[in-house]
Amino acid sequence: MSRRTDRIEDQLRTEISDILRRELRDPRVGMASISDIHVTADLRHARVLVSVLGEEDSRNDSVEALRHASGFIRSRVAHRLRHLRVTPELAFELDRGPEHSQRIEQILEELHEGNEST
């Protein structure tokens, strides 16, 4: 990644987080936070990874609400980041990284307990 891409990812993370906190009024979004953003080299697409607290159904509802509001969020980002020629298309996805980390930790603990009992 280039420094420019990294800088734009940071700016997008800041602006989208602020928009979610202050301007988006959909109650389905809940406690969503932006965990990571990946922008393509041509800056036309951005994959936004979202971390959401709660049960699986409410988390999926939150991501679906964000997908539904992606046009609104993109227009607000375009208004805030006027220096960008093209505002990236936003694709919201649920960040499953913490779940995977927790599952791996659980498996390692089970293996460790199994080794101690032998």
| List of the chain residues with pLDDT < 50 | none
Q: CB–CB of 13/22 below 8 Å?
A: no
Hey, where are the domains in the chain? 3-117
How far, in Å, CA of 7 to CA of 9, rounded?
5
pTM (two decimals): 0.82
25-43 per-residue burial string, b: 16 or more CB within 10 A, e: under 16: ebebbeebebeebebeeeb
Give the model's pLDDT for residue 115: 75
Give the model's pLDDT for residue 67: 97
Pick the CATH number of 3-117 from 2.30.29.30, 3.30.565.10, 3.50.50.60, 3.30.300.20: 3.30.300.20
Give the model's pLDDT for residue 75: 97
